[in-house]
Amino acid sequence: MKSAVVVFPGINRERDMARALRLISGREPALVWHADASLPPGTDLVVLPGGFSYGDYLRCGAIAARAPIMDAVCRFAAKGGLVLAICNGFQIACEAGLLPGVLMRNAQLRFICRDVYLRVERSDTPFTRGYNAGQVIRVPVAHGEGNYIADGETIARLEGEGRVLFRYSSPDGMIDPNWNHNGAMNGIAGILNERRNVLGMMPHPENHVEAAMGRTDGRGLFAGLVDHYKAAA
């Protein structure tokens, strides 16, 4: 799996992401600068990592979404290429129109930095084939604007088409407002685009991939992607 991690000014999770990709795919990802106009030839997976691009000025992800590289990322996605957008990357993907909806200020107005539980809603996608549907994983979040909202019609479509991949849940997989840390509609933590090749999620699976990190729950996402490309090859 040949992956490319896009680096925007103010991003700070690109190295965590590169480390997870190197560890699990066995291949060094390319780091692509935001001002570049193209992705490395043969890229299988594009990652928009977490951080604080442009200091979250204007709106989170708004300025990065208009960076030169994003035209190439949008073309890559339009051709069916897989895009993984984490945290600030999710905000960038929404601002760029790759995913519907908006990530608003957390409902309780606080920055949240802790582990959360996520229920994996389905396993028949390249992003979640490393998990079982209904499985609960524990991964960190670190965000102030992760409160996913969209209009009623968009939410109905996301739900109806099975495009919600991760939901904030209790440790035993119950969807409960008490475990919905940021107030996201329907506890949405991660969604797919219409074509199902772009995943946006607020939590950081790349931070739970090896024993030294305390847990390895995030590994399944990357291992699943690697399997997806092995199966395709």
Partner 1 sequence: MKARVTVTLKPGILDPQGKAIEGALRSLGVAGVTSVRQGKVFDIEIEGADRAGAEAALESAAEKLLANTVIENYRIELR
Q: List active site positions.
A: 87, 204, 206
For the CB of residue 144, give the shortest distance to partner 1 in the complex, in Å.
11
- Looking at the Cβ atoms of 48 and 150, the one nearer to partner 1 is 150
Are 200 and 93 in contact by the 8 Å Cβ rule? The answer is: yes
- Looking at the Cβ atoms of 139 and 191, the one nearer to partner 1 is 191
Residues that bind partner 1 (CB under 8 A): 58-59, 62-63, 66, 95, 100-102, 104-109, 147, 149-151, 183
Are 20 and 26 in contact by the 8 Å Cβ rule? The answer is: no
For the CB of residue 101, give the shortest distance to partner 1 in the complex, in Å.
7
Q: How far apart are CA 100 and CA 208, in angstroms?
A: 27
Q: What is the bridge-based pairing of β-strands 3-7 and 45-48?
A: parallel
**Residues forming a β-bridge with 112:** 143
Residue with tokens 């084939």: 129
Neighbours of 87 (CB within 10 A): 29
- Looking at the Cβ atoms of 51 and 100, the one nearer to partner 1 is 100
Instruction: Name every residue whose Cβ is closer than 8 Å to that of residue 93 and which is 6 or more positions away in sequence.
Output: 48, 61, 65, 83, 85, 99, 198, 200
CA 128 to chain CA mean position, Å: 12
CA 188 to chain CA mean position, Å: 12
- Looking at the Cβ atoms of 31 and 107, the one nearer to partner 1 is 107
